A and B are shown apart, each in its own frame.
Chain A
Amino acid sequence: MTDTNEHGAKSAAKSSRPGLVQRFMRDTELDTRLLGMLGALALIWVGFHVYGALRNGFGAFLTPRNLWNLSVQTSSIGIMACGMVLVIITRHIDLSVGSVLGFCAVIMGITQVWFLPQLVGLEHWSIWIIACIVGMIAGTIVGAIHGWLIAYLSIPAFIVTLGGLLVWRGAAFLITRGETISPLDSTFKLLGGGPNGAVGAMGSWIVGIIAAVAVIALIVMGRAKRKRFDFRLRPLWAEWFIGIFSVGAVIGAVLLVNSYPWPRGIVRRYAEANNIEIPEGGLFISHGFAIPVLILLVVIVVMTVVMNRTRFGRYVYAIGGNPEAAALAGINTRWMTVKIFALMGFLTGLSAVVASARLGSATNALGTLDELYVIAAAVIGGTSLGGGVGTIYGAVLGAFVMQSLQTGMVLIGFDAAVQQVVVGGVLVLAVYLDNLYRRSSK
């Protein structure tokens, strides 16, 4: 009983009853880190908006257009950050993701521009599928090679991927002879977003409803399970609070992306192509969720399940916490390392799809310096370089923080040099704050 008494005594020392905030946190079982990150993100968003409003007379940040663009710009880094979390949790690092992204993009580019049109014809329906598969396989193989060198030849990940950073960027250049590969397949390009690469108002509502139903189902099932095992239940009001808040956030996101209309020029072209008369006030066609954002969402959901609900994910954490203990528990830590880096490579390939589709072409320079943003996103999101600690949602939030800072500074007209200084400073500050948080929560 000493355990519970100790805890009770600590809170009792502050007040006779636990304070309102404490009780709220305890009953909802929310992660304080998550709330902190959301708070920081909100602060950045509001800060840039207000600053823009005061200085330029127009707050451009909290507009549907900017937030929609922000979501698209975050996708590529966000997808890779989900993989980087696993790499860093297991006490490794991957410096090569930017170069591998460029390499995969080039492989996909030549597949759909040089080879496939000769085989199946230009703009054939299968081109984008084959190109994506080829790109993701290329990424997976590259990642597996890195993992094998690290695990079985015991070369430090830092060195292997530092070498990879040079090797794959050079390989991409050799393959294309420095040329830009374009034009890419038009269906493929939809995967990068843009007015056509979004699912529209109706599609967004469908996505939103699926998400809302999933959230409610998770809450109901979780409660039923706790009852079955006779664990402590969350109070009903807390369940309702989390449910309403989550569903509200989903609906808010749908309303947001649906309130960003297509630009007038594209609407005009679309109307001409489909013989629609444009009414007097203009035709309002919503963007809806961009396809790359939906890809990121799927990656988040799948990777969260992998990390929290599969043996693979459990072993990733175990290896990060104590590699020796993991090996003694019968986990094949070397093979796990190969799998983790292969997964990182796969996600880099997927990210290359989004990045090159968004650009509309494939160049060997694509993804330059991405490795630093991906690592920064994971670290800002609370992944500990000491290993064993990190979450998928944290890394994605970290990616959003990074991208928000950059977008915000562009909007209010900071120099590129100033942007670099700020982003670098924020990275260091974020890790420092994280250390403080960890120390105080121990």
Chain B
Amino acid sequence: MSDINRSGTPLVDMRDICISFGGVHAVDHVSVDLYPGEVVGLLGHNGAGKSTLIKILSGAYKMDSGEIYVNGERSDIRSPRDARRYNIETIYQTLALADNLDAASNLFLGRELTSPMGLVDDDAMESEARKIMARLNPNFQKFKDPVSALSGGQRQSVAIARAVYFNAQILIMDEPTAALGPHETQMVSELITQLKAEGIGIFLISHDIHDVMQLCDRASVMKNGKLVGTVDVADVTDDDLLGMIILGKQPAKAV
């Protein structure tokens, strides 16, 4: 798994990021980076700051200080719209779906397809949604129902389809398998492998050390808003990672 070429410019380079909420340093001078075709796991306890860090990259939060470089260029991400312009797509832990809308409306939310008259073209969107879902989840049939009527796995596939459809270069997945059964988890794993092969960089936030050991090339561990360290997954054991998460201890072999 460690055949990632890290000599070029990283896809994403987040340097010295800080954000605090009411005096609490949620993210405290954290630096992480991501190369094309690489999966970087973000690990840590609840409240370690992983989701907050990632929400800065996806434009949901504005950082207090720090720099983000995308493809080597200094970028200014102030809103989700900005992040999307840099081909950064996010699958949120909460999925961020509007429950009252159908799958196609959610897939294209904020980026609706319109007819020449500028009106929303539902049929074209449904047609596109059918195509992408046929690839991701061939069993999916409920295109007319609001997503509140879908099962957890189906909702997840809608959220994933939204991130994949728009040709993401950088994909952020926040606990993508937390609510899924074994079969669907397998599907997500396969998808990650496939996207990785296409040269997409993925930040994978997870609690599950097995997931990380299996899917990730590197892992960055956070604790209390600070970065404990970034390690090559091939060089460490489960216990090393656990030690980093729980004790904030650098493993002996870490770079």
Chain A interface residues toward B at CB < 8 A = 1-4, 225-226, 228-231, 305, 308-311, 313-314, 317-318, 320-322, 324-331, 388-389, 442
Contact = CB atoms under 8 A, between A and B. Distances in A.
A310 B98 contact: no
Contacts of A226: 123
B110 A317 contact: no
Interface stretch (B7-15, B79-87, B184-192, B215-223): B79-87
B99 interface: yes
A328 B112 contact: no
A322 B97 contact: yes
B114 interface: yes
Interface in B79-121: 79-81, 84, 90, 92, 94-101, 105, 109-112, 114, 118-120
Interface string B56-76: 001110000000000000000
Nearest to A5: B141
Of A4, A311, A320, A328, most B-chain CB atoms within 10 Å: A328
Contacts of A231: 123, 126-127
Contacts, number: 89
A329 B124 contact: no
Contacts of A330: 59, 79-81, 84, 110-111
B96 A329 contact: yes
A1 B99 CA distance: 22
A4 B141 contact: yes
B142 interface: yes
Given A314-B101, A325-B98, A328-B58, 13 more contacts: A309-B120, A311-B114, A311-B120, A317-B100, A322-B96, A325-B97, A328-B90, A329-B80, A329-B109, A330-B79, A330-B110, A331-B109, A331-B110
Given A1-B139, A229-B124, A325 B100 contact: no
Contact of A314 (B81, B112, B118): B112
Contacts of A308: 120
Contacts of B140: 3
A2 B100 CA distance: 22
Contacts of A325: 94-98, 109
A230 B123 CA distance: 10
Nearest to B150: A3
B120 A310 contact: yes
Contacts of A442: 149
A43 to B, nearest CB: 29
Interface string B134-170: 0000011110001001000000000000000000000
A229 B109 contact: no
Given A229-B126, A229-B127, A305-B119, A324 B80 contact: no
Contacts of B60: 327-328
Contacts of B79: 330
Nearest to B80: A330
Of A2, A318, A320, A388, most B-chain CB atoms within 10 Å: A318
A311 B57 CA distance: 26
